Structure 1
């Protein structure tokens, strides 16, 4: 697998309204574990659409992994131009820093938002271009990742497209392991 789309919930869907929220650490750690093993197997590109939450946290993970794996690259393929236009200043600044560090940035529809079809086009385009998907998702809590997942499942059946999940159970196990490791240190 040379390219993978990484997505999941938007931060507000997870009830996270602060980058320093403890859950962000564990989500990024889970993403790092999956990406690290994929890079060891030949992953070269991580593709995101630049949405707040899991996607931008994945970008931060890619930047950290680049120190160890300089061949790893990040592409941000936004659904439309100026997707950050209505965001608050702090969020805009955070997003623009991610964009500045990305290896490739492009807008799929090459125009500002004008209809919801642009989001569907983005999903279709990214699933078509990638070799697989990494998705933070809870089957019992549908949300924005559901649209990606529906398309990915169609491609999974048709082409054997791999879908790698990070589930709430995976995150719980990670938290328990970290807490156990901290107790061992004390």
Structure 2
């Protein structure tokens, strides 16, 4: 696998409304843990669309991994121009940092938001053009990642699922480590 789309729930779907939420750290550590063996197996590109939540946190993880794995690249393929237009200032700043540090950045449709079809087009395009999907998803709690999962099924692409249990395992490991010291 050379290229991988990474996605998951939007921040608000997880009940996360600011960048200081402790859950973000656990999600990022879980993504980091899942990416390492893939990088060792030859993963070169992580692709995100830049949406708030898991995608942006994955982008931050990739940027931190680039220090140890300089061959790793981050691409941001945005669904449309100015997707951040109506976001809060804190979210815009985080997004802009990712845009400036990504190895490649381009909107899929070179115009502002017009209709939900642009989001479906983004999902299909990203899945079609990559080797697989890594997604944080709970099969008991539908949400925005479901659209990527449907695209992956339609294009018969491999799906690597990060479950809530996997994130909880990282939380337990961190707590046990803290208890030792």
TM-score between the two structures when normalised by the length of structure 2: 0.98
Q: Distance in 1 between matches of 2:163 and 2:19?
A: 20
**Distance (whole Å) between structure 2 residues aligned to residue 171 and residue 116 of structure 1:** 30
Alignment of 1:4-23 (within 5 A): 4-23=4-23
User: Following TM superposition, by how much is the alpha carbon of 1:154 offset from its aligned partner in structure 2, in angstroms?
Assistant: 2.4
The runs of 5 or more residues in structure 1 that have no matched partner are: none
Matched residues in 2 for 1:118 and 1:87: separation? 18
Q: Does 1:171 align with 2:167?
A: yes
1:83 is aligned to 83
Aligned length: 181
* Secondary structure in 2 matching 1:79: strand
Give the 4+ runs in structure 1 shifted more than 2 A: none
Q: Which is further off, 146-155 or 65-74?
A: 146-155
| Map 1:123-142 → 2, pairs under 5 A | 123-142=123-142
User: 176, 181, 185: which is aligned to 2:177?
Assistant: 181
Does residue 46 of the first structure (1) align with residue 27 of the second (2)? no
Cα distance between partner residues in 2 of 1:170 and 1:154: 26
Q: What is the rounded CA distance, in whole Å, between the counterparts of 2:88 and 2:30 in structure 1?
A: 28
CA distance in 1, matches of 2:166, 2:146: 19
- What RMSD, in angstroms, separates the aligned Cα atoms of the two structures? 0.8
Flag structure 2 segments of 5+ consecutive residues without an equivalent. none
Matches within 5 A, 1:26-105: 26-105=26-105
